[in-house]
DNA sequence: GCGTAACCCTACGCACGAGTAGGTATGCTC
DNA sequence: GAGCATACCTACTCGTGCGTAGGGTTACGC
């Protein structure tokens, strides 16, 4: 039943999706949807939660914390793109729909913040291993950029059904890790004085 | 008047925004909004177009095509983050709202594709200058990732009113250019064989 | 056979908001 | 000052869709 909701929400968006359509798609009648899952808002939150936790679990399950940073990043990315490839509708709900709708944006932002924190922690760990340190805010921003780049590629993947998730993950590593590794080695870019 | 519309759309989203509220915020009555700008949908498209072209102009004006790639990237990024910092509402409409709403997503995707193409062109140009070449699709994906990372940081900026756009642009360069420069020099990352 | 309980449906009330009809004030022409 | 045009408003219609009331059907106990 949640599957039907996710499907409809992903295609129509929260407001444009009608409970009638969701009910019809699920093969039951509207009062049943209300009986089992409450109001439209609660239904959407339920979708959000399910897809969100599924995704986080997929990533956490793949990126064991005792691996070296590049290995963790690679596995996490692979799991993430794999998830998006297999749950395109769920991803669309999370990324495209929930973002703009006021009541849910916070919910999503929290989840995203957790992800950013994990990435930032990974970078920090790797940095300390190299005997370096960066201001926490810089780390957070870099992590933010990496997460954003990844989400963007995921979106690209969602729109290209025949693309290979694994290959996309490799491409992402090429952009992300090469840059991050430079940073870890103390190489930085400075603006030209103009 | 468009300012009022952008403001309301950015806070509420397309569906939740009421024409009454937009009219009130603009200091006029609803029939006037209809007289000047047509239906709600047309109004939204008008907002989208204005903010979109403003943004593209800001970027295009800063990143002259005869500069070296890193300089172009830097100036483009600076202009972009400057724009977002100055038009947070407009950015929210473009990035958070228009994306999920079916009738407008295409419009936006086109604009985004232009941006990706510009970035990809830039990378390609720099690559040829180094005597190298990469498959077009790889270039596009890398460009996509860079644009995504930038958008993500822009979003971060929009949520942190006291953050400095220029500094954010510098941070973005650190992530993007260091990685891209590696790629340009032929360094690539390969997945471990497991 | 009749009560009853679990289950699910059709069909509705009601609120909200897009778009409009018709009226009012202000200024301009002759 | 009468006629007219422009600019704007208040107050309405009407469609849409959320949430629910009340009724039908099946299965089981007695």
A96, A125, B48, B97 from B102: Cα distances, Å: 10, 42, 14, 10
Domain range enclosing A72 = 2-184
Residue B152 lies in a domain: yes
- B-chain residues near A96 (CB < 8 A): 99-100, 105
Give the CATH number, domain containing residue A138.
1.10.357.10
B32 sits within 7 Å of strand D by its CB: yes
Residue B189 lies in a domain: no
Residue A13 lies in a domain: yes
Q: Using CB atoms, pick whichever of B96, B105, B189 lies closest to residue A174.
A: B189
The total of structural domains in chain A comes to 1
Is B21 within 8 Å of chain A by CB?
no
Residue A193 lies in a domain: no
Residue B191 lies in a domain: no
Residue A88 lies in a domain: yes
* Cα gap B1→B36, rounded to integer Å: 9
Q: In tens digits, what is the pLDDT along chain A, a chain of 194 residues? A: 788 899 999 988 899 899 999 998 888 888 888 988 889 999 999 999 999 999 999 998 998 888 888 888 889 899 999 999 999 888 988 888 888 888 888 888 888 998 899 888 888 888 888 888 778 887 888 888 889 999 999 988 888 889 899 988 988 888 887 777 787 777 787 888 76
Query: So what's the ipTM on this one?
Result: 0.84
Buried b / exposed e along B86-113 (16+ C-beta atoms within 10 A): ebbbbbbbbbbbbbbbeebeebbeebbe
Interface A–B counts its CB contacts (< 8 A) at 154
Residue A189 lies in a domain: no
Residue A134 lies in a domain: yes
pLDDT tens-place string over residues B36-60: 888 999 999 999 999 999 999 999 8
pLDDT tens-place string over residues B136-192: 887 888 888 889 999 999 988 888 889 899 988 988 888 887 877 787 777 787 888
A41 sits within 7 Å of strand D by its CB: yes
Is B180 within 8 Å of chain A by CB?
yes
Which of B148, B87, B9 minimizes the C-alpha distance to A153? B148
CA A116 to C1' D18, whole Å = 37
């Amino acid at each position: 039943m949640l599957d039907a909701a996710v499907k409809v929400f992903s295609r129509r968006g929260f407001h444009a999706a009608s409970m009638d359509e969701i009910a019809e798609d699920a093969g039951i009648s509207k009062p049943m949807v209300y009986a089992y899952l409450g109001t439209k808002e609660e239904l959407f939150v339920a979708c959000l939660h399910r897809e969100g936790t599924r995704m986080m679990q997929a990533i956490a399950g793949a990126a064991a914390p005792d691996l070296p940073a590049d290995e963790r990043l690679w596995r996490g990315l692979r799991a993430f793109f794999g998830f998006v490839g297999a749950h395109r509708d769920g991803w669309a709900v999370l990324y495209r729909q929930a973002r703009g709708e006021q009541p849910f944006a916070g919910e999503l932002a929290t989840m995203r913040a957790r992800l950013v924190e994990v990435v930032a922690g990974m970078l920090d760990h790797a940095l300390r291993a190299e005997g370096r340190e960066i201001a926490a805010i810089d780390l957070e921003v870099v992590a933010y950029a990496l997460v954003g780049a990844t989400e963007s590629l995921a979106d690209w993947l969602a729109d290209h059904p025949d693309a290979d998730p694994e290959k996309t993950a490799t491409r992402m590593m090429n952009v992300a890790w090469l840059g991050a590794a430079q940073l870890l080695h103390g190489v930085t870019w400075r603006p030209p004085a103009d």
